[in-house]
Structure 1
Amino acid sequence: MVGLQLGIDPQQLGLEFGGGAVIGGIIGFAAKKLAKVIAIIVGLELALFKFLESREILTVDWAALSAGLLQTGEGAASSGPPGWLSTILSTLSVSAGFTGGFLLGFRRG
């Protein structure tokens, strides 16, 4: 009775939640696989830099390399989401399903 008063269709809500969960699961699985590939590439690149530096072919400024990463992290942490509450409330059913599916897919990947 309360669902009808608010204009909420339980069937539509279930379809949105289920669809979000399936899409989230697929994207989570793919994201974990992609993250592994990127981690391997970055690790190989850093190992190559260290090898070339040990042979005195290349000089790497490791402090400048890590400082750029720290500045990027600080910039991302300082910005706040504008209007985040209304955004969350308007997409709650799809985002809840997507989040659950993403976490399940990421864990299985």
Structure 2
Amino acid sequence: MVDIGLQQIGLELGSGAVIGGLIGFTAKKVAKIVAFLIGLELALFKFLESQSILTVDWNRLSAGLVNASTAASDAATANQPPSVVMSFLSIIPVSAGFTGGFFLGFRKG
């Protein structure tokens, strides 16, 4: 039997929310920087291609991204934990707080 008190649940929920908020805020900032750099790189590729300095195979470039995301999702579903129910029950307070904090931090970021 699992013995968890309300104080421990509140502590886990609060700490998960704070950590999630910080990570969500940071993730949005990092995503903006990465999107800017990728856009800048693609614009540079287009410019160099228009000047006949560089040749870019756009179909091959985009197919690599689609294949990478498919491989990542296949790898994620291959590993199943032994006791799914117990693992799920033990992470509910932290993950609930983390999720709420992440969305709040991502929205404010």
| TM-score (normalizing by structure 2) | 0.88
Structure 1 unaligned blocks of 5 or more: none
Is 2:53 aligned against 1:64? no
1:47-104 C-alpha deviation (Å, 9 max, x unpaired) = 0000000000001111111110011111123231412834322211111101110011
- Give the aligned length: 105
Partner of 1:99: 99
| TM-score (normalizing by structure 1) | 0.88
The partner residue of 1:35 within 8, 13, 31 is: 31
CA shift for structure 1 position 6:
5.0
Distance 1:69 1:6, change over 3 A: closer
- Of residues 49-58 and 80-89 in structure 1, the stretch that sits farther from structure 2 once superposed is 80-89
Measure the CA separation in 1 of the matches of 2:36 and 2:88. Answer: 35
Is 2:19 aligned against 1:23? yes
Measure the CA separation in 2 of the matches of 1:41 and 1:101. Answer: 27
Measure the CA separation in 1 of the matches of 2:53 and 2:61. Answer: 18
Structure 2 unaligned blocks of 5 or more: none
CA RMSD across the alignment? 1.6
Measure the CA separation in 2 of the matches of 1:6 and 1:43. Answer: 50
Partner of 2:42: 46
**Percent same amino acid at aligned positions?**
59
